[in-house]
Amino acid sequence: EIMIKNDELEKTRERLELAMDAGEHGFWDWNLDTDDIYFSPRYYTMLGYKPGELPMKLKTWVNLMHPDDRKTVVPKVQNYVNNAQPYEVEFRLKTKDGDWKWISGRGKSYEKDVDGIPHRAVGLHVDITDRKQAEAALLESENQLQRAQKMEAIGTLAGGVAHDLNNVLSGIVSYPDLLLMDIPEDSPLRKPILTIQKSGQKAAAIVQDLLTLARRGIVATDVINLNQIIDSYLKSPEYEKLKEFYPDAKIEIDLDMNLLNIMGSPVHLSKTVMNLVTNAAEAMPAGGSIFISTQNKYIDKPIKGYDDVKEGDYVILTVSDTGVGISSGDIDRIFEPFYTKKVMGRSGTGLGMAVVWGTVKDHKGYIDVQSTEGKGTTFSLYFPVTRKEIIGKEDALPMEEYMGKGENILVVDDVEEQREIASSILIKLRYSVISVSSGEEAVEYMRDNSADLLVLDMIM
């Protein structure tokens, strides 16, 4: 009879083992007096070990645990067990190949003595790595969505402000040209007028940055090679000025000589390179190295990062530095306008990185940012490849080619200053000009008249 019961007990244990294996559960049985622990075969295999390959001791479980989890989980489990309370905790265990698996551990103590002190604890370990990875991916997707929505909202506000400023600045930028046409070269008025114009142009450049942030900048569909954009920047006055400000910043270049072309705007891409390099230099007040590189790369499966990069052929522009790095708390906000931890007053308008973001999005590209505090930051910009070839630019037409012969031009704009500027310039070019303030007035005019050309403000 005893043999029969032992046989039934063994079968019951075997069935329990099979059930736990089928459920991907690892079973453990802990002798609290000796710290010996029985680990089921599934306990070993879920971590990549063969059954019995690890010592059946408490210290095996402790040593396998991630150091960050060990500090809190081990005391918590021992406290629950000593007080004969059931528990459930989550932690990471190291696998045989060096990876980490997330485990949900559940247990309860048994076999209490007359003083209520338990002598045995049993429980299960469940592999929840897939769930944890799915939760992390969902959280990252939510963060990316919130980031994009925030940037779109900021862009909408910036676009509205920029549109109004553009109308105000148009007179400051354009009228000096008209005045200079009628002022002699030796006139003392020329210098102050040119100063006004230069100041207006600087303000207009800031407005253009706002429009880029708002993704209302006009992105030309030129065929471009990024190597040429970088070469041009390295020969520019802006780069020379940067070297004067940061003489201890060393720049290293590694450009792919077989780089493929992309479609885009030379002006916006030049600003992007300039802003990234400037940002890198400012991150190294004590000096360091800036690395600029380009490469072709085919992405065969999506890449998770600051942006999720889709499959496809890309040209990658990488700018990295050995500077102070960016904290995890700041990295989500680095592309927001005017957000900076640098000393204000020296770093430009506060729109540099926002312009980078707007330009990349306008070019249907992606951004990745990797940073370690105290070691540096790497920005990688992914631009879709085009198979089109660069066509040589035509020479600019001489001014004589722009002169009219009395042709009729209808100017339509709801801002009076804009109408006056456009009309004055066209009259100087010997055209006959009529201006109206609305689309309705334009339609009414055209009922009884004709025009050789219509100049229309599309946003009124």
Q: Determine the pLDDT at residue 296.
A: 97
3-state SS, the chain, equals: CHHHHHHHHHHHHHHHHHHHHHCCEEEEEEECCCCEEEECHHHHHCCCCCCCCCCCEHHHHHHHECHHHHHHHHHHHHHHHHCCCCEEEEEEEECCCCCEEEEEEEEEEEEECCCCCEEEEEEEEEECHHHHHHHHHHHHHHHHHHHHHHHHHHHHHHHHHHHHHHHHHHHHHHHHHHHHHCCCCCCCCHHHHHHHHHHHHHHHHHHHHHHHHCCCCCCCCEEECHHHHHHHHHCCHHHHHHHHHCCCEEEEEECCCCCCEEEECHHHHHHHHHHHHHHHHHCCCCCEEEEEEEEEEEECCCECCCCCECCEEEEEEEEEECCCCCCCCCHHHCCCCCCCCCCCCCCCCCCHHHHHHHHHHHCCCEEEEEEECCCEEEEEEEEEEECCCCCCCCCCCCHHHHCCCCCEEEEECCCHHHHHHHHHHHHHCCCEEEEECCHHHHHHHHHHCCCCEEEECCCC
Residues 228 and 267 in one domain: yes
Longest dimension (CA), the chain: 124
Residues 384 and 413 in one domain: no
CATH number, domain with residue 145 = 1.10.287
- pLDDT of the chain along its 460 residues, tens only? 555 545 654 555 555 555 555 556 788 888 888 888 888 888 888 899 998 888 888 888 888 999 999 888 888 887 777 777 787 889 999 999 999 999 998 888 776 777 777 788 888 888 999 889 888 878 877 777 777 777 677 666 666 676 677 777 777 888 888 888 788 888 888 889 888 888 887 777 777 777 776 655 555 678 999 999 999 999 998 899 999 999 999 999 999 999 999 998 888 899 899 999 999 999 898 889 999 999 999 999 888 888 889 999 999 999 999 998 888 778 877 877 666 655 544 445 567 788 888 889 888 999 999 998 889 999 999 999 998 888 766 666 776 788 889 999 999 998 888 888 889 889 988 999 999 999 899 999 999 999 999 998 876 6
CATH number, domain with residue 452 = 3.40.50.2300
Residues 186 and 231 in one domain: no
Q: In terms of residue numbers, what domain contains 449?
A: 399-456
Task: Please identify, among 174, 198, 217, the residue that sits at the C-terminal boundary of a domain.
Answer: 217
Tokens describing residue 331: 């990295």
Tokens describing residue 44: 């070993």
Q: Determine the pLDDT at residue 345.
A: 43
Residues 148 and 285 in one domain: no
Q: Determine the pLDDT at residue 15.
A: 53
Task: Please identify, among 201, 217, 233, the residue that sits at the C-terminal boundary of a domain.
Answer: 217
CATH number, domain with residue 69 = 3.30.450.20
Q: Determine the pLDDT at residue 253.
A: 95
Residues 246 and 385 in one domain: yes
Output phi, psi for 450, to 5 deg.
-130, 160
Residues 230 and 370 in one domain: yes
Rounded Cα distance, 362 and 219, in Å: 7
The answer for residues whose C-beta is within 8 angstroms of residue 356's C-beta and 6 or more apart is: 272, 275, 276, 335, 367, 379, 381
Q: Determine the pLDDT at residue 460.
A: 64
Query: In percent, how much of the chain has pLDDT > 70?
Result: 84
Residues 35 and 50 in one domain: yes
Query: In percent, how much of the chain has pLDDT > 90?
Result: 30
**Residue whose token pair is 């770093």:** 347
Straight-line distance from the first to the last Cα atom of the chain, in angstroms, rounded to the nearest whole number: 98
227-285: pLDDT as tens digits: 999 999 999 988 999 999 999 999 999 999 999 999 988 888 998 999 999 999 998 98
Tell me the angle at which helices 190-213 and 266-282 cross, rounded to the nearest 10 degrees: 90
Instruction: Write the single-letter amino acid at 456.
Output: L
| Domain total in the chain | 4
Question: In what order do the strands lie in the sheet containing 87-94?
Answer: 37-39, 25-31, 118-127, 100-112, 87-94
Q: Determine the pLDDT at residue 344.
A: 46
75-99: pLDDT as tens digits: 888 777 777 778 788 999 999 999 9
HSE toward the beta carbon, residue 394, CA cutoff 13 A: 3
Residues 268 and 335 in one domain: yes
- CA angle 147–151–156, rounded 5-degree value: 150
Rounded Cα distance, 209 and 202, in Å: 11
Residues 155 and 286 in one domain: no
CATH number, domain with residue 264 = 3.30.565.10
- The C-alpha R_g of the chain, in whole angstroms, comes to 34
Report the mean per-residue pLDDT for the chain.
83
Separation of CA 178 from chain center: 43
Residues 67 and 155 in one domain: no
Residues 229 and 363 in one domain: yes
Residues 207 and 290 in one domain: no
3-state SS, 335-401, equals: CCCCCCCCCCCCCCCCCHHHHHHHHHHHCCCEEEEEEECCCEEEEEEEEEEECCCCCCCCCCCCHHH
Q: Would you say how long the chain is, in residues? A: 460
Task: Please identify, among 364, 390, 416, the residue that sits at the C-terminal boundary of a domain.
Answer: 390
Rounded Cα distance, 385 and 313, in Å: 6
